[in-house]
Structure 1
Amino acid sequence: MATTFERSTNFGLQVGGNSGRIEAHFHPAAERPETPPSPSCVLPFRRDPDFVNRGTLLDQIREKSTAPASRIALVGLGGVGKSQLAIEHCYRTAERSPETWVFWVHASNAARLEQGFRDIANRVKLAGRKDPQADVFKLAHDWLRDEKKGKWLLVLDNADEAAVLSPVTQFLPPSRHGAVIVTSRTERATSCLVEIGDVIPVKSMRKADAHALLARKLGSEIEQDGMAELAAALEHMPLALVQAAAYIKKRAPRCSVRQYLDEFRRNDDTKTSLLDYEAGSLRRDREAKNSIIITWQISFDHVRDVRESAANLLSLMSFFDRQGIPEFLLHSYEERHVGQRSVESSQESREREVSKRAFEDDIVMLQEFSFISLTKTADAFEMHSLVQLATRRWLGSQGQLEQWKQRYITNLCAEFPPGRYENWATCQALFPHATAVVEQRPRNKECLQKWALLLYNAAWFAWQRGSAGEAEIMCVLSMEVRKGLFGEEHIETLDSIAMVGLVKKMKGRWKEAEVRVMETSSRVLGDEHPSTLTSMNNLAFTLQGQGHYNKAIPLLEKCCRLQRQVLGPDHPNTRSSLKALQAWKVGEQTPSDY
């Protein structure tokens, strides 16, 4: 006996008595045809009433996305506003073209990507979508390629992993009636879908746009004194601006823009604390962090997991001044001075080539994540200071801050020369990085010696070029460290003390310390030691500056006599001292360059 049941209301089969074979065939009812929905724009985010049009970016997005079968990518740092641009473009597209379907898919991982395509299937009521075995990607693909379904725009948001995006590219047909926009932190992740010429870099906002965004987020009730300065301090980064505005508004009137700015500038700790503030945002994905520091640190983790050497390079670069980071200081001492060796083995040559290629690959990865950028000279790099701060914070959380700080100090100390005239070009190029080292005191004793030497040489250069304020900060730090390490009568300590005297003289401040420096140098090193002669010369000039000619002239005469013996009559120091002595004796005022 064979029985066929085709109605969906048949849930079972009962047989009274049977001695033969029974076959039952159940056929599920076919899906009822559904009324095709009308095109719509359904986004997971509300439109931002405070949106600021950023130059020509939206025009570029519109122009590229209206081309047949367009695929474009918005690429930039986390928090730079890529998703906000895509959201605004979607709403404008819906306004201009109500007959266009607008889809938004979260592409941060495979599960969310699949769910996004399942949502598309439900939106357009695809037949077969309810089958547990259905391939929603294939179903969506067939719908998207059908021109009869009308125009569509698909946004793949936060597509930062090539491994997630690549498998679904086959299901995104290059349809004349469709456009795909990808937002990502790295160009590499989008390369499986988007041509390099269709990548739109998204960078920090222009000054005027940043000011406008901050003003709108603060509202008219907040005193806006210092707003331009705050926008600049936050490097015109949209997420940081929104964070700051939310922080200020929540605490107003007890917190103003000026107070926030003062707190932000206090030190790295307070700056990091403010940037860690999690300001809720209605236009950021639920998995995305609203703190710009945490947002970037997630990217740091990814770089480290994919290419550890690139993360190491980023770690080192985070300590330099943000501009003009020289490539040669990013290599080890051996790599920097390989050309000075007369003989190089074939093995060493191969290793050097491998190291060079690896370095270039590291640079490419950091550029792709927008962590660094090239300068016009191509042998130096730039970074956002906030990215540097976030990197150092990340290193601290990993217990690696001190390690990379010491590497930075060691590399810079090895290349920063004494501040003599013949070294000025090198000193000038490296001085901003030496200034940055002031805040990076190391714990290790050996590295502390290098830190003191670096500060001393940098102070020497600053004094030579007349920057008394910078010179004083550096030489006083150097002096204090050397006193603690070596004692007051060590030659390196005396050098630093003498430098302090030179700087104080430049600033018109004389103290008995200069007498002690000369006396100590004479006792420890002898009258003919160059350091003693420098101290003697400094003290003579200080006495003359105070009008004590009866003490200054005999001391400078002694200094000139010893300089002729030790340095020679034609040495610049000897000639300078003799010229000053002649001027003093005839009662002339000493020129300021003595």
Structure 2
Amino acid sequence: MEPNISYCNSLKGKSINPFWGRTDYKAADEIQLPLHNRQPVPAFTTLPPPPDARFVGRPEITTWLRQKFERSLTRVALVGPAGVGKSQIALQYAHQVRQSSPNTFVFWIEASNRTHFENAFRDIASRLQLPGHDDPDTDALPLVSSWLSQPQNGTWLMVVDSIENTDIFYCRKNSHARCVGRSCLPTSPNGSIIFTSQNPSCLLLEMLDGDLKFYNATYKVPVMNIYQAFQLLRNELDDGLADNPSRMADLVYALGREPRSIAQAAKVLNFRGLKISEMSNSEEFGDLWPKEPNETQRRSDLPRAWHRNFQLLRQQRSQAVDLLYLMSFVSGPQRKIPKLALVSFAKRLGKFRDHGIGQEPVIDCLDQEIAFLKQNHILMETDDGEHIILAPFVGFCTQMWLFYLCEQERWKCRLLYIMAHEYSSGAWDSWEAFNQLDDCLQAILSLKIWSRFDRLNAATITLSLASYRSNQGRFEEAESLLRRVIEIRGQLLGSDDLETIRAMENIGTLFQVQGKLSEAEQTLRLVLEVREKVLGREHKDTLCNAFALANVLLKLGDFSEAEQRHRETLATRLQVLGKDHFHTLLSLDGLGETLRLVGDLEESERTLHRAVDGKVRALGAENPHTLSSVYGLAATLVCQGKYEHAEKWYRQGLEGCDKVLGRDHPTTQIGAHGLIHALKKQNKYGEACRVKQSFFGECISGATDSLGFVGQNEVIGPTHRCHIDIRVGL
């Protein structure tokens, strides 16, 4: 029989061993395998027991296996993450082969480590009574391989299961010339091998050892479809527990439709006698957690395969496992973990910092760890590469592994510390980051937190998230978060704690933004009193508090006290902070607005010019705070009747807002109203109409509707809402 090497002739620079060829053979009932002469040894099997009656088959995969072998392929592989059913599928197919072709040898080889692999071959050598099989110094691999490679010994099927390292395929000794430098697996046209592995790349050399056609001999086993998963859960549950089909469907979806995950969940439910309808929250697996933290239960509740997987992953890439530990706290159904969060994790983990100083080396190392976890089917990346998807049951098993190691609280503490220190501000320049991390931060804050240190870190994260919510215009949510901060820090540190006072000040600002001016004044006066006592009158936080109170007084119509407080705050800030400090520039803004309302327009113009010039130097022309000052200056010019100059400033501010905040942002639209008003005062009705059409269409009749329009809008931030009624200059 001539070997089939026609596919290999064009492969230059490669060494191909043509051990298999295409042969004519007859079908063997349902499963077609090559048939040869009568067996010198009666055919036997080393298969484990077949799957029980509860097993849900995967006919599309067994059909694929049958078709590949019908086309004379002798090596195929089933690859995929742990728990998708690779081994069970291969086992079911192997039993089908044994049943349909009794004269075929069928072998099951456990290949998770060298010991199991060698023991399986030694058992086969003993069953075949091969010479030297009883000698402990004899390597059974080449003995069995040589016997099976002889076509006259009959047909055979071998399943090599759970491959983690292909080094096990090579002889321990070099006494067998045939095996030196290449695999000891048998090669014969009358035999076939099914590999199962989590890592397809480790099988590439084995799969290509004979022919290029083996490029198409790998099947990536997916999770079950929803119908198969539902059937498996129903089969695995004891009678009476599967009482709610809708909740069952929710559970199998939350478990990622992974067979092993579903079987494990059913095992726990059966043990506890818990009905599906009695589960409080299937998506979070809350009722699947062990109730007694003893060693035996820790071991039994964690799937055995994952126990081995975590040990192996830790040996290979401990940094990747550290990332997995942190990600498991924020994973969940349909939840995408921003890569930005992983960068934050890596920056704060010492093992990543060892690769170099700076963010680029950390990101390079992070990409390598992500690639490793992807290769092992632990996680996936979205198409844009900006988010990571961790299968729900992977996160659950990781948490169970940490529980088993008694390290769950330690890693939760690290997570809270990292996020509290990485994202301790809700300022404008971090809005984009908070937008990406919003869901992730909420998942962190929903964790059960017990220790004092963890609660303080959670309060820091909550305070930052409240600031972001405020800038989104979601004021009720922001207020609720701030009250949570006050409750936590007040209990732990007392009412004089500075962060507690800061949260109270933010609530006062929210009252101001929402028009609750009396509540805002009362809150801010209380905060100012505490800060003056604790920090002193010249402290920057005390001055911020005084500035906020002056703005509330201005809105309440108490112009005299408002002007006095603004002048005092500005003088102190000039002395303590300098003329270009951001807070000093804010005081110039506040004083300029106040002077306009009291009628001192010339000084108001000079003051606001100083604010604009200083913010351009310190923050840039397109910073929202700079644009806010531009609008204030334009409003003062309108009040003076300097409409041409006002038009110039409104155009400058409007151009910046349109670029930075977007055309639909309320601050942008306020500037458009101001420009329309200035143009109409100059009788430029055609230009005013064009601006109106560009920004509003036919929806708004004119500049007089500005206040009502902005008052009804919920997305504008407090930075721009503070003086909305005096920005336009009506």
Task: Give the TM-score, by structure 2 length.
Answer: 0.59
Decide which of 212, 216, 233 is 2:254's aligned counterpart. Answer: 233
1:299 CA drift (Å): 1.8
2:257 is paired with a residue whose SS is coil
1:213 aligns with 232
1:323 aligns with 336
* Counterpart check, 1:156 vs 2:172: no
Query: Which consecutive unaligned segments of at least 5 residues does structure 1 have?
Result: 1-33, 281-288, 339-346, 541-551
Q: Partner amino acid for 2:317?
A: R
Decide which of 316, 327, 333 is 1:306's aligned counterpart. Answer: 316
Kindly indicate whether the alpha-carbon contact (under 8 Å) linking 1:583 and 1:590 is maintained by their aligned counterparts in 2. no
Kindly indicate whether the alpha-carbon contact (under 8 Å) linking 2:158 and 2:194 is maintained by their aligned counterparts in 1. yes
CA deviation vs aligned residue, 1:339-359 (integer Å, no higher than 9, x gap): xxxxxxxx9979988766654
1:52 is paired with a residue whose SS is coil
1:172 aligns with 185
1:63 CA drift (Å): 4.0
1:241 CA drift (Å): 1.1
CA pair 263-128 structure 1, distance change in 2 beyond 3 A: same
1:439 CA drift (Å): 3.8
CA deviation vs aligned residue, 1:293-325 (integer Å, no higher than 9, x gap): 553233222222233333333333333445233
1:228 CA drift (Å): 1.1
1:243 CA drift (Å): 2.4
CA pair 440-159 structure 1, distance change in 2 beyond 3 A: same
Distance, in Å, in 1 between the alignment partners of 2:587 and 2:95 is 82
Distance, in Å, in 1 between the alignment partners of 2:467 and 2:149 is 70
Structure-to-structure mapping, 1:11-26, within 5 angstroms? none
CA pair 362-120 structure 1, distance change in 2 beyond 3 A: same
* Counterpart check, 1:273 vs 2:290: yes
Q: Which moved further from structure 2: 463-472 or 360-369?
A: 463-472
1:26 aligns with none
CA pair 146-448 structure 1, distance change in 2 beyond 3 A: same
2:163 is paired with a residue whose SS is coil
1:461 CA drift (Å): 2.4
Distance, in Å, in 1 between the alignment partners of 2:710 and 2:375 is 60
Kindly indicate whether the alpha-carbon contact (under 8 Å) linking 2:343 and 2:366 is maintained by their aligned counterparts in 1. no
Distance, in Å, in 2 between the alignment partners of 1:251 and 1:553 is 63
1:341 aligns with none
Distance, in Å, in 2 between the alignment partners of 1:69 and 1:165 is 20
Distance, in Å, in 1 between the alignment partners of 2:561 and 2:53 is 78
1:364 aligns with 371
Structure-to-structure mapping, 1:128-143, within 5 angstroms? 129=133, 135-143=139-147
* Counterpart check, 1:591 vs 2:591: no
2:388 aligns with 381
1:401 CA drift (Å): 4.3
Kindly indicate whether the alpha-carbon contact (under 8 Å) linking 1:83 and 1:183 is maintained by their aligned counterparts in 2. yes
CA pair 208-458 structure 1, distance change in 2 beyond 3 A: farther
Distance, in Å, in 1 between the alignment partners of 2:225 and 2:96 is 22
Distance, in Å, in 1 between the alignment partners of 2:272 and 2:406 is 33
CA deviation vs aligned residue, 1:526-579 (integer Å, no higher than 9, x gap): 799544665788999xxxxxxxxxxx95579987996986545486599899x9
1:104 is paired with a residue whose SS is strand
1:377 is paired with a residue whose SS is coil
Decide which of 79, 83, 98 is 2:83's aligned counterpart. Answer: 79
Distance, in Å, in 2 between the alignment partners of 1:296 and 1:51 is 21
Kindly indicate whether the alpha-carbon contact (under 8 Å) linking 1:272 and 1:293 is maintained by their aligned counterparts in 2. no
Q: Partner amino acid for 1:329?
A: S
CA pair 537-200 structure 1, distance change in 2 beyond 3 A: farther
Q: Partner amino acid for 2:244?
A: Q
Decide which of 462, 483, 490 is 1:483's aligned counterpart. Answer: 490
1:84 CA drift (Å): 1.1
Kindly indicate whether the alpha-carbon contact (under 8 Å) linking 1:69 and 1:177 is maintained by their aligned counterparts in 2. no
2:289 is paired with a residue whose SS is helix
Q: Which moved further from structure 2: 444-453 or 66-75?
A: 444-453
Distance, in Å, in 1 between the alignment partners of 2:520 and 2:249 is 45
1:283 aligns with none
2:347 aligns with 332
Distance, in Å, in 1 between the alignment partners of 2:479 and 2:48 is 57
Decide which of 443, 459, 462 is 2:466's aligned counterpart. Answer: 459
**Larger proportion of helix:** 2
Decide which of 279, 292, 313 is 1:260's aligned counterpart. Answer: 279
1:408 CA drift (Å): 3.1
CA pair 265-408 structure 1, distance change in 2 beyond 3 A: closer
Query: Which consecutive unaligned segments of at least 5 residues does structure 2 have?
Result: 1-37, 173-181, 209-214, 567-585, 594-607, 609-624, 633-665, 671-702, 715-720, 722-730
1:438 CA drift (Å): 0.6
1:102 CA drift (Å): 1.9
CA deviation vs aligned residue, 1:54-87 (integer Å, no higher than 9, x gap): 4844344444455545333333333332211111
Distance, in Å, in 1 between the alignment partners of 2:371 and 2:710 is 59
Identity, % of aligned pairs?
A: 24
* Counterpart check, 1:50 vs 2:54: yes
Structure-to-structure mapping, 1:407-418, within 5 angstroms? 407-416=414-423, 418=425
Q: Which moved further from structure 2: 108-117 or 468-477?
A: 468-477
Distance, in Å, in 1 between the alignment partners of 2:437 and 2:522 is 33
CA deviation vs aligned residue, 1:83-122 (integer Å, no higher than 9, x gap): 1111122233345555543211222333332231233335
1:432 CA drift (Å): 1.7
CA pair 44-558 structure 1, distance change in 2 beyond 3 A: farther
2:236 is paired with a residue whose SS is helix
1:145 aligns with 149
1:409 is paired with a residue whose SS is helix
Structure-to-structure mapping, 1:177-188, within 5 angstroms? 177-187=190-200
Distance, in Å, in 1 between the alignment partners of 2:493 and 2:347 is 28
Kindly indicate whether the alpha-carbon contact (under 8 Å) linking 1:99 and 1:151 is maintained by their aligned counterparts in 2. yes
1:415 CA drift (Å): 4.4
Distance, in Å, in 2 between the alignment partners of 1:139 and 1:182 is 20
Task: Give the TM-score, by structure 1 length.
Answer: 0.70
CA deviation vs aligned residue, 1:20-74 (integer Å, no higher than 9, x gap): xxxxxxxxxxxxxx98344455521223333334484434444445554533333
2:336 is paired with a residue whose SS is coil
* Counterpart check, 1:105 vs 2:109: yes
Distance, in Å, in 2 between the alignment partners of 1:392 and 1:513 is 45
CA deviation vs aligned residue, 1:204-250 (integer Å, no higher than 9, x gap): 33333322221232377531341111112322221221123234345
CA pair 511-262 structure 1, distance change in 2 beyond 3 A: farther
Q: Partner amino acid for 2:289?
A: T
Structure-to-structure mapping, 1:439-458, within 5 angstroms? 439-440=446-447, 449-458=456-465
Structure-to-structure mapping, 1:436-585, within 5 angstroms? 436-440=443-447, 449-465=456-472, 471=478, 474-484=481-491, 486-499=493-506, 517-525=523-531, 529-531=543-545, 554=557, 567=590, 568-569=592-593
- Once superposed, what is the RMSD of the aligned Cα atoms? 5.0
Decide which of 266, 269, 272 is 1:245's aligned counterpart. Answer: 266
2:526 is paired with a residue whose SS is helix
Decide which of 431, 438, 458 is 1:431's aligned counterpart. Answer: 438
CA pair 161-457 structure 1, distance change in 2 beyond 3 A: same
CA pair 482-537 structure 1, distance change in 2 beyond 3 A: farther
Kindly indicate whether the alpha-carbon contact (under 8 Å) linking 1:441 and 1:451 is maintained by their aligned counterparts in 2. no
Structure-to-structure mapping, 1:29-40, within 5 angstroms? 36-39=40-43
CA deviation vs aligned residue, 1:383-438 (integer Å, no higher than 9, x gap): 22333343344345545545544443344344437445664332211112211221
Q: Partner amino acid for 1:377?
A: D
Kindly indicate whether the alpha-carbon contact (under 8 Å) linking 1:489 and 1:524 is maintained by their aligned counterparts in 2. yes
